[in-house]
């Protein structure tokens, strides 16, 4: 019998953005807890720096550190951890993970369903949330703290285009030994040794910050699902200008309750990939 040439890996990877995908904005929640108005902070402090050439993510954290140092709004590692513990996830988010696993297992009972988080925000907050243990790995920005635990710098950021790099490194399995430095994306990994094929990935994100990941999923045969909030439609500014071939498979409201458009979309995506894996499993004689 002729064997198929497609890579067979008995796993599905679901990669989620965090802010405005699984929960509200971590940055704005943190500002509110510090007694600052998020929109005013963005307008008065962040936007002038963006207008002068700063990348928005760097501008945000530069301004936050400046406020922490000079204006009494102390940002500490302990404070961020506490924010994570009390962070208001979207309703029914915590119920989603077991449902996804069951959908996949209806097709292949021994399939591995792996969840990853890929966020441009600081990871210290989502790492302390009630759902953190559901993720195999959480990738995000990271703060640098002094001996007193105060935020003094940002030691890692994930810009929006960099999300493609993390998805590539996931496919190659470079995350398994922590080889996620930017230059390692060029490490030569034979396709037959990939940890997971790109077309067994599902990426879920909320808008402009995820456009590069959405586009990549289209390029490599994965599935992209967009989450939209009525009050955050600005995040999708420019989406209509993107060519139809670059768009997500579906746009759905951030509603993780049973039977919602988003959950139906996730179910269709997970089962379609599970059937693909089942076909490859048969073609490899397993």
Q: Give pLDDT tens digits for 42-94.
A: 999 999 999 999 999 999 999 999 988 876 778 999 999 999 999 999 999 99
Q: Quick one: pLDDT at residue 46?
A: 96
Q: Which domains does the chain have, with CATH numbers?
A: 11-23+89-142+158-283 (3.40.50.1000)
3-class DSSP state of 202: strand
Q: Quick one: pLDDT at residue 263?
A: 96
Of 147, 143, 167, the residue nearest 155 (C-alpha): 143
Of 116, 120, 224, 219, the residue nearest 163 (C-alpha): 120
Arithmetic mean of pLDDT, 201-219? 87
Residue 91, Cβ density class (10 Å: 0-12 exposed, 13-18 middle, ≥19 buried): exposed
The residues, any chain, with a CB within 8 Å of residue 280's CB and separated by 6 or more, are 4, 6, 7, 8
Arithmetic mean of pLDDT, 214-237? 77
Provide the CA 42 distance to its chain's centre, in angstroms.
Answer: 23
Instruction: Give CA–CA dist 1/151, Å, rounded.
Output: 61
Instruction: Give CA–CA dist 106/58, Å, rounded.
Output: 44
Cβ 112 vs Cβ 59: under 8 Å: no
Q: Are strands 151-156 and 137-145 parallel, antiparallel or unpaired?
A: antiparallel
Region of 225 on the Ramachandran plot (φ > 0 left; ψ -120 to 50 alpha; else beta): beta
Q: Give the Cα-Cα-Cα angle 99, 101, 107 (nearest 5 degrees).
A: 110
Q: Quick one: pLDDT at residue 210?
A: 84
3-class DSSP state of 227: strand
Q: Quick one: pLDDT at residue 243?
A: 44
pTM for this predicted structure: 0.91
- Which run of H or of E encompasses 48? helix 47-51
Structure tokens at 87: 């962070």
């Amino acid at each position: 019998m002729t064997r198929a040439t497609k890579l067979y890996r008995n796993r599905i990877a679901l990669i989620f953005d965090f802010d405005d995908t699984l929960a509200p904005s971590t940055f704005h929640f943190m500002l509110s807890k510090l007694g600052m108005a998020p929109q005013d902070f963005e307008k008065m402090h962040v936007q002038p720096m963006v207008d002068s050439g700063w990348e928005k993510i760097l501008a945000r954290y530069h301004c936050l550190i400046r406020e922490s140092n000079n204006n009494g709004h102390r940002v500490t590692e302990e404070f961020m951890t506490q924010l994570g513990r009390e962070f208001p996830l979207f309703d029914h988010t915590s119920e989603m993970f077991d449902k996804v696993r069951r959908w996949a297992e209806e097709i292949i009972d021994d399939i591995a369903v792996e969840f990853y988080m890929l966020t441009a925000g600081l990871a210290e907050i989502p790492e302390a949330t009630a759902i953190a243990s559901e993720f195999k790995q959480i990738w995000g920005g990271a703060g640098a703290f002094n001996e007193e635990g105060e935020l003094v710098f940002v030691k890692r950021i994930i810009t929006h285009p960099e999300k493609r790099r993390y998805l590539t490194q996931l496919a190659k399995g470079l995350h398994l030994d922590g080889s996620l430095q930017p230059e390692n994306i060029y490490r030569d990994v034979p396709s037959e040794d990939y940890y997971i094929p790109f077309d067994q990935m599902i990426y879920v994100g909320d808008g402009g910050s995820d456009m590069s990941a959405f586009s990549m999923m289209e390029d490599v045969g994965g599935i992209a699902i967009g989450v939209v909030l009525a009050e955050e439609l600005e995040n999708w500014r420019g989406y209509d200008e993107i060519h139809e071939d670059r768009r997500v498979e579906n746009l759905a409201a951030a509603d993780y309750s049973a039977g919602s458009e988003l959950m139906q979309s996730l179910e269709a995506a997970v089962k379609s990939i599970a059937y693909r894996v089942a076909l490859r499993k048969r073609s490899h004689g397993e």
